[in-house]
Structure 1
Amino acid sequence: MPQSDDDRLVDLAARLEHEDPRFARSLTTGRPTRPREYRRTGAWWVLIAGLAMLVTGIAAPDGLLIAAGLVTSGIGVQLLDPYRRPDEGDSGGAPGG
Structure 2
Amino acid sequence: MRLFIIILLVLLAWLQYDFWDGKNGMNEYTAVKESVALQQAANTELQQRNQQMYAEIKDLHGGKEAVEERARNDLGLIKPGETFIRVLGDNN
Q: TM-score normalised to the size of structure 1?
A: 0.30
Structure 1 or 2: larger helix share? Answer: 2
Structure of greater relative contact order (alpha carbons < 8 Å, 6+ residues apart): 1
Larger Rg over CA atoms: 2
TM-score by length of 2: 0.31
